[in-house]
Chain A
Amino acid sequence: MTERLGIVVSGSLNKGVEVRLDSSASIEDMAVGRFVTIEGEKRRFFGMITDVSLGMTDQRLSLTPPDVSDPFIAEVLAGTSTFGMLHVSPNLVIGGDATAILEGPQPVKTIPSHFSAVKLSTQEDVELVFGTEDEKRFFIGNPLDMEVKLCLNLEELVKRSNGIFGKSGTGKTFLTRILLIGMLQKSQAVNLVFDMHNEYGWAGTREGGPPVKGLKQLFQSRVAVFTLDEENSRHRGVSTDGVVRIGYDEIEPDDIALLRQTLNLTDLAVEAVHQLFRKFGKNWIQDTLDLKGAEELPEGLNIHEGTLLNLQRGLATIRRLPFIEPHSPVNAVKAILEHLDRGINVVLEFGRYRDITAYVLVANMLSRRIYDQYQSRVEKADAAAKESLKPRPLVITIEEAHKFLNPEVAGQTIFGKIAREMRKYNVTLLVIDQRPSGIDSEVMSQMGTKITCLLDNDRDIDSVLAGVSGRNELKSVLAKLAAKQQALIFGHAVPMPVAFQPREYGSAQSYRDFAPQKDAEEAIEKLWD
């Protein structure tokens, strides 16, 4: 469909342009979020429909409506006295001359002239703006109501921290899986996924349908599954590559500070942790738990009885976690890092330990150690001025991100640090959350690309769109997304915001599309090695 929709009749750069629909175009066929092209005199503009409205030349028509039961009168009035209006916010522009075409679409600095023709975008337009599938770009879905492949530059995407948001049940997990596969195929980055609900590694659930394949099933040779709960993984028939155990001696005061809310610790108790750590050293948890009361505290420690009890109660909760042992026999961090260095993506399954304490503790601990490693390696590489020494870019995927990144703890957790420092040390985040309003606004503002499914809470919508230009327009698009399988993407990795329908995931054909034959051949070759 390349038919003309209408003409530009008014507008401004700030507020977007008003388009009057031709009588041949029905307002009922329009939809917010659609991608349109405006043919200006010298330039072509690309934009998105952000609002639709009804207009009339004479206000009296609304007071004394004509007799539209007569099809003749209805047909005459449609598009003349009464007409549809579109509100389009232009985002990109491309000049008509050769150099401009080479440069590609640029952000708009002006708007199309009066009465420029507006058309639905064609496949060529979408490809011009978003590119075609190639070694860097990955097909993530179709723009709304279009049969065109929307491609995302994943090389660009992983350079920043990104977020995926949406109410529960809107398809965040499916979207994340698609993105993870994209990163695995099209970028140099490796992924470390903290898989709270065991959705990504081996198999995932689908509402009202059979389970869907996870990453490991599709990319056997490039994904490793680690587990905290070996027994549970075995039950589910997952072939795991390693078990993660955590020793008391690996837990540091900052880890406890992060758990303050979940463990119900007082501020004083968190203070006390630091003192105890200084005094007891690595073994501080065991030593603290062994204390019978405040009177047994070593010299120089001034901790109130109540505070100590509060702390001991909290630490006991941690100790009860089955994967915590006095001394861990395996160095989980080392094992995971080895995989990551070989370019193998790691999914850490939590098995039955889905409570938030376990998730926050483990994700934070592992990430911090891995990040420290990355930091020192990058610093070494910088000192030696050798780009080749730098570790592979790492993307850490966390769910329930507001637990790590809420304003109270974002300053203390490693995730807050990663989000703020961006890619200085080659580590970025992929944040998945259903309550973006719970995330620190500073962290939100640092996110490069945001993909959001339907959100209906005003505060959530505001926090996702904070700092985005044209947010009022996007807000109306976001609020009107379908409850399932529609998302809006905007930010660093896409030239302009676009609403899209994620590509299919879960059918046999979709698996073949995601993981072409080549992978199987590699696996067979590996067998002979």
Chain B
Amino acid sequence: MAEVQRVGEVIEASTTGFTAQCYELYQMPPLGSLVKTGDSAAELYGIVYNATTASLEPGRRPIARGKDEDSEEAIYRSSPQLAKLLRSEFEVLVVGHKEGDRLYQHLPPQPARIHGFVYQCSPDELKDFGKSFDFLNIILNAHLPVPGEELVAASLRRMSQAHDDRRAFLVAAGKELAILLSGNLNQLNTILGRIKL
């Protein structure tokens, strides 16, 4: 895996998030992964919260084609145009930005730019980003199609993989959550149950 992996291109952007399209079908980053876009002057960090694969044209829905085929791969082999007629997109929640060398875990002044390249963050960047847990609050307060606790758990699980001491990282994150969710015990328990090793 390359140090900095390009995973897509921004096709829709707002202050709180952006949507990116993958260059290859089904090559979207996993749920909860940390991605970035923008140039070195202003980089935006976001967490992947949703991914879709659909027809290029909204009016033309895909149809079932595998009746006479043996395997799924065979469908794509016999209809090679499919890879071009379908597209994979993923949606990203913006949780921070970097100005110069400083990392801020709050919303950026400007949204991402269309056609900005989207990269998967390296383990070092994950570690750096994981020094603060302020981004958890943004996730918990966002109105997303996926449940907030699922996304928090997924992002923490992924981030913990970059840390040498995964458990210590998760305990620290758990303590932060316990404070954030002091009034919502069920949510806290759900997340803790999903991030424990």
Contact = CB atoms under 8 A, between A and B. Distances in A.
A391 B182 CA distance: 69
A66 interface: yes
B188 interface: yes
By DSSP majority rule, is chain B's interface helix, strand, loop, or mixed?
A: helix
B167 A76 contact: no
Given A66-B189, A75-B174, A80-B179, 18 more contacts: A23-B175, A57-B178, A57-B183, A58-B185, A61-B185, A66-B192, A70-B196, A72-B170, A72-B171, A72-B197, A73-B174, A76-B174, A76-B175, A76-B192, A77-B178, A79-B175, A80-B178, A80-B182
Nearest to A79: B175
Interface string B161-188: 0000001001100110111001101001
Interface string A11-31: 000000000000100000000
Contacts of B183: 57-58
Contact of A81 (B171, B178, B196, B197): B178
Interface string A38-73: 000000000000000000011011001010001011
Contact size range, B: 10 to 19
Interface of B: 167, 170-171, 174-175, 177-179, 182-183, 185, 188-189, 192-193, 196-197
Nearest to A60: B185
Contacts of B189: 66
A64 B185 CA distance: 10
By DSSP majority rule, is chain A's interface helix, strand, loop, or mixed?
A: loop
Contacts of A23: 175
A16 B178 CA distance: 28
Given A61-B185, A66-B189, A72 B178 contact: no
B179 A76 contact: no
Contacts of B188: 81
A141 B171 CA distance: 42
Nearest to A78: B175
A73 B192 CA distance: 7
A72 B168 CA distance: 10
Contacts of B193: 73
Contacts of A75: 171, 174
17 contacts: A57-B182, A58-B185, A61-B185, A72-B167, A72-B192, A72-B196, A73-B192, A73-B193, A75-B171, A75-B174, A76-B171, A76-B192, A80-B174, A80-B182, A81-B182, A81-B185, A81-B188
Nearest to B189: A66
Contacts of B177: 76
Given A23-B175, A66-B189, A80-B175, A73 B182 contact: no
Contacts of A72: 167, 170-171, 174, 192, 196-197
